Amino acid sequence: MARPPRAVFVTLLASTLCLGLAGGASATVQSAGVSAPAVLTPATPEGAAPTTAGVQRALAAVLADPSLGKHRGVYVYDVDRGKVVFSTGAATTYTPASTLKLLTTVSALSALGPEHRFTTKVVSGGKGSIVLVGGGDPLLTAKPSDGYPTRATLSALAASTAKALKAQGVTSVTLGYDASLFTGPAGNAKWESNYLPEGIAARTSALWVDEGRIAKGMSKRSDSPSQAAAIAFSKLLVANGIKVAGAAKPKTAPAGAEALAKVASPTVGQIVEYVNLHSDNDGAEVLLRHVGLATKNGGSYAGGVTGLEETLTKLGLNVGKAQIYDGSGLTRTNKVPLDLLAGAVRVAASKDHPELRHLLTGLPIAGFTGSLEDRFGSASAGAGTGLVRAKTGTLTGVHSLAGMVRTRSGTLLAFAVASDSVPVAKTLDARAALDRAAAALANCGC
């Protein structure tokens, strides 16, 4: 099925953004470089409510698809009416893969707040000494880069630091670096042994640039992201007229030291959108550590997971059956029920939690953005193009999709569909089956 013209995306995007929020909403949509105001009136259910039998009929063909293997399940929740519409295979837990990021990011929004920012700073470390202090900015880059959101850069921090030092008459310093905000192992013991060496994931650090990559755009990561960041910062200081004596060394910043210069990350809301849109494993792991800190459980893996579970519980989600070991979903030992994955979307769409909206606005749009840009292209799934917003999850033998869709009758559904028993030879077939399931919900009169 041919994709709709990009101009049609204006209408599709406007329709998917109608989340049924009290009081309505307004937005500006863009197409072909032209901005046009679009008023989004409150989207309330029209016509008959979805029924269990109707949803079951809509999904029957997908549920019978052998490519999904033996362990497959679907969970569908009517957000507008506050009730479960349909579920099958949802009594057990699933390896969620990257759909786990929904739990991490909704927890970050709740625990930290969508407007919170992370600060990378330089403080005085004593006479002739400065310390580069990591604040856990997952998107910090060495130099300015294009794209959303606008990121903090080491180059800007170096320029501000050099200016401050020169104002004090200082032109030569020694440099230390402090990444002590996060604690515990930098890599997850439950990840596959090749993940770190092959650059599938970075060693999580409170101080890094370009997510620890040795070179921008490369998958290979530094064995010490914080040291690599300090070395890059040292070179930038020199370029700004400040001599750096010796090599940068680890150093704890003096308590209460005033910042000579600092840069702030994008907001947590913007970071959440980026992480979910691009399925950013490293960003998710950093957010997990921040959840641990925000909930006073510490900035380790264990603290982050404890903080995540506490936060989800406060949001009214049941984590009793879940087994969670990271923030990205990279480990196969994660086990999560489908109602918990859909529940993250449900609470984010609730009128009681406007602080969680960035979870929804960052979800990939079927056929257009992020990890769904190249999905929903078949004739049977194309009806979901532009209408389904969902987070993908993929590991070998594991495929999941969790998000939201509005039916033809106007009902907003939160859903999760998954299988963690897909034969390797059926990978593409299974992924297409999940797309068809979501498309069927979008076009369901039910």
Give me the active site residues, please. Answer: 98, 101, 279
Residue in 403, 375, 405 with CA at minimum distance from that of residue 387: 405
- Using alpha carbons only, give the angle 303, 324, 344 rounded to the nearest 5 degrees: 100
Residue in 113, 105, 160, 111 with CA at minimum distance from that of residue 138: 105
Query: Exposure pattern of 213-229 as b/e (b: 16+ CB <10 Å)?
Result: beeeeeeebbebbbbbb
- Using alpha carbons only, give the angle 357, 444, 363 rounded to the nearest 5 degrees: 25
Phi, psi for residue 85 in degrees, rounded to 5:
-95, -40
Q: Tell me whether strands 336-337 and 93-94 are parallel, antiparallel or unpaired.
A: antiparallel
Residue in 92, 11, 19 with CA at minimum distance from that of residue 403: 19
Separation between Cα atoms, residue 72 and residue 165, nearest integer Å? 61
- Which DSSP helix (H) or strand (E) runs through 175? strand 172-178
Is 143 exposed, middle or buried (CB count within 10 Å of its CB: 0-12, 13-18, 19+)? middle
Distances (CA, A) of 314 to 2, 103, 110, 319: 44, 13, 9, 11
CB 359 within 8 A of CB 106: yes
Separation between Cα atoms, residue 358 and residue 348, nearest integer Å? 8
CB 339 within 8 A of CB 320: no
Percentage helix, strand, coil for the chain under 3-state DSSP, each rounded to 5: 35, 20, 45
